[in-house]
């Protein structure tokens, strides 16, 4: 696993650098007081490079444990594969319902589903974090980056109920 992580980290670092070079070729068209078209791709490049370097360093400085039980390892791998499959299915459903229900209503149960899927057991923790992270993302993107997120068709219904 150590060798695979090192190889993956190096490949991802190279791909991120290529992606960064490609974003330099984007034309500079922007309105005053707004970030240009290269702003978000560079955020992605920085995050990907940071995480890849962390993976490379952690893989380079850890030793492999060769005495693991192979049966247990196979069961764990199968469990992880099923979790990954369920995560993809959940994400697909999330993308389908997102335009109709909007970002806030769709994202809260999606985050809760992912937390339960990846073994979180505390209900209050699941509820508070799925709501908190969703609203954090909403405010960062809506007010920090000035990006409108999908409101969904239920947005007007909710506004009428509130007002």
The tens digit of pLDDT for each residue in 42-78 reads 899 999 999 999 999 998 888 766 555 555 665 666 6
Q: For residue range 80-129, what is the model confidence (pLDDT) as tens digits?
A: 778 888 889 999 999 999 888 888 889 999 999 999 998 888 999 999 99
The structure tokens listed for 107 are 């994202």
- 62 DSSP 8-state letter: S
What dihedral angle (degrees, nearest 10) is formed by the CA atoms of 29, 33, 38, 43?
-170
Quote the CA–CA distance of 4 and 17 in Å, as a whole number: 20
> Which of 12-21, 33-42, 83-92, 133-142 is predicted with the least confidence, judged by mean pLDDT?
33-42
pLDDT at residue 134 above 60? yes
Banded pLDDT at 155 (limits 50, 70, 90)? low
Exposed, middle or buried: residue 17 (CB in 10 Å: 0-12, 13-18, 19+)? middle
Model-level pTM greater than 0.85?
no
């Amino acid at each position: 696993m150590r060798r695979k992580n090192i190889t993956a980290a190096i490949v991802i670092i190279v791909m991120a650098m290529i992606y960064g070079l490609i974003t330099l070729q984007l034309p500079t068209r922007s309105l005053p007081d707004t970030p240009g078209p290269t702003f978000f791709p560079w955020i992605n490049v920085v995050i990907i490079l940071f995480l890849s370097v962390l993976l490379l360093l952690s893989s380079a400085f850890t030793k492999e444990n060769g005495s693991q039980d192979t049966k247990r390892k196979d069961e764990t791998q199968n469990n992880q594969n099923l979790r990954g499959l369920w995560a993809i299915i959940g994400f697909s459903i999330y993308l389908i319902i997102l335009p109709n229900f909007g970002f806030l209503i769709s994202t809260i149960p999606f985050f809760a589903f992912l937390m339960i899927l990846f073994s979180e057991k505390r209900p209050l923790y699941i509820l508070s974090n799925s709501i908190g992270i969703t609203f954090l993302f909403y405010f960062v993107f809506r007010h920090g980056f000035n990006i409108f997120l999908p409101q969904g068709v239920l947005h007007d219904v909710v506004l009428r109920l509130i007002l």
